Amino acid sequence: MNKPIITKQGSLLERAAEVYDFSARLNARAIPESDLQAPPVLKPVAPATVVETPKPVETPSAAAAPVETRAAPIARPAPVPPVALPVAGRQAKIDRDLLAENQLLVPGAAIGVLAEEFRLAKRHLLLTARQLNKHEPDKARTILVCSAKPGDGKTYCAINLAISMAAERETRVLLVDADFAKPGIMERLGVADGPGLLDALADPSIDIEKCVVGTDIPNLSLLPAGARTNADVELVASGRTPDLIARLLAADPERVVIFDSPPALSASPASVLALHVGQVMLVVRADKTSEGEIRDTVQRLEGCEHIQLLLNSVAFAPGGARFGSYYGQEDEGQ
Ligand SMILES: Nc1ncnc2c1ncn2[C@@H]1O[C@H](COP(=O)(O)OP(=O)(O)OP(=O)(O)O)[C@@H](O)[C@H]1O
Ligand SMILES: [Mg+2]
């Protein structure tokens, strides 16, 4: 089996490396630590830790894509019309107040540090996906969000990444709750739970597409974890998992599938899922995850060759709201 490729880019890690001693190996992005008592205020990351990251072009997605010129000429690119989701299952409304309460990205809100951080993380993942697309086009569209231990911020980061990525042109995001023991995505978005991945794994007669829940966030749909059984681990490890992933990808050629997973050091499904995805976004809790834990986690996820680190809850220096002043305006997406 190939060793995971972990490459270092970005100055954040030069700081983090002092703690983790990974200076020659890792990719990282920083997510600012939040003050949970006073949502939605975020403690920004020190500018130097973020802005010198490799240069994924930071153009808003609407400006990056070709402009339709047959319509009346306009000076700026036309806003992206919301694309109807080809979802076979039910439709749900995402509770924006709950998003704000949970300090998650709120589509349509002013762009702040958090949104900008996820833009950078997203760009990096998309660039790697583009490379992967040359050889493994299906895998290129799958991302596993994982971490070493419970509470590191996997679900928080998976939701934010999904919301950020859904704002991309020509990308539809399916956020899959693959944390069967502690599913949290539906609840955190204020969407009623329902049949999901485990049900489709357990019962081949269930069409997994019918479990997909469309949302009122353009280009974002959800797949619940489904009903637990005593055989969750065996089900995920079965040959049906790659089949179902293939089915989800085949259902929509523009679809990117993001899996929120259980912690790699406490449960095995993350290692299994890592075998089937193109990239892993490994959430590292800046104030908690030790170097040894990162190494152990990377080892568990070695089925995937592309592991990107994302530092969560970074609070190197308050007062570096570098992006806020540039993105104070309303934005149509994140
Ligand atoms: N950067 C952050 N800013 C604000 N809140 C955060 C941040 N990161 C995590 N949290 C909060 O910390 C708590 C734990 O995060 P989360 O549930 O995402 O962790 P997890 O890794 O998915 O945990 P589990 O392994 O139990 O599923 C949640 O209440 C989440 O909202
Ligand atoms: Mg979680």
Contact 281, 121 (CB under 8 A): yes
Amino acid at 132: L
Ion ligand 2: residues, Cβ under 5 Å: 154-155, 184
Q: What is the pLDDT of residue 94?
A: 97
Q: What is the pLDDT of residue 250?
A: 97
Q: How confident is the model at residue 29 (pLDDT cuts 50, 70, 90)?
A: low
Ligand 2 mean position to 97 CA, how many Å? 20
Angstrom CA distances, 103 to 32, 37, 138, 183, 221, stand at 11, 11, 32, 18, 20
Ligand 2 mean position to 273 CA, how many Å? 15
Instruction: DSSP letter for 191, please.
Output: -
State the closest ligand 1 atom to the C-alpha of 313, by its place in the atom list counted from 1: 1
- Quickly count: other Cβ atoms within 10 Å of residue 79's Cβ: 9
Question: Which residue bears the tokens 């040359």?
Answer: 134
Residue 175: in which H helix or E strand, if any? Answer: strand 172-177
Contact 179, 219 (CB under 8 A): no
Nearest-angstrom CA–CA distance, 202 and 231: 9
Three-state secondary structure readout of 6-52 = CCCECHHHHHHHHHHCCCCCCECCEEECECCCCCCCECCCCHHHHHC
Ligand 2 mean position to 238 CA, how many Å? 23
Ligand 1 mean position to 102 CA, how many Å? 9
Instruction: DSSP letter for 263, please.
Output: -
Q: Does domain 12-35+85-315 have CATH number 3.40.50.300?
A: yes
pLDDT digits (tens, 9 = 90+) for 267-302: 899 999 999 999 999 999 988 899 999 999 999 999
Name the more confident of 233 and 314: 233
Q: What is the pLDDT of residue 4?
A: 56
Ligand 1 — pocket residues by CB below 6 A?
Answer: 31, 33-34, 36, 102-103, 147, 150-156, 179, 182, 184, 263, 312-313
Q: How confident is the model at residue 89 (pLDDT cuts 50, 70, 90)?
A: confident
pLDDT digits (tens, 9 = 90+) for 191-247: 999 999 999 999 999 999 999 999 999 999 999 999 998 899 999 999 999 999 999
Tokens of 210: 């019918």
User: Residue 231: what are its φ and ψ, rounded to 5°?
Assistant: -115, 25
Nearest-angstrom CA–CA distance, 81 and 270: 36
Of the ligands numbered here, which is closest to the C-alpha atom of 37?
1
Kindly state the average pLDDT of the residues 122-130. Answer: 94
User: For 50-54, 165-169, 215-219, 242-246, which range has the lowest pLDDT when averaged over its residues?
Assistant: 50-54
| pTM to 2 decimal places | 0.78
Nearest-angstrom CA–CA distance, 173 and 186: 15
Kindly state the average pLDDT of the residues 76-80. Answer: 47
Nearest-angstrom CA–CA distance, 224 and 213: 8
What are the domain boundaries of the chain?
A: 12-35+85-315
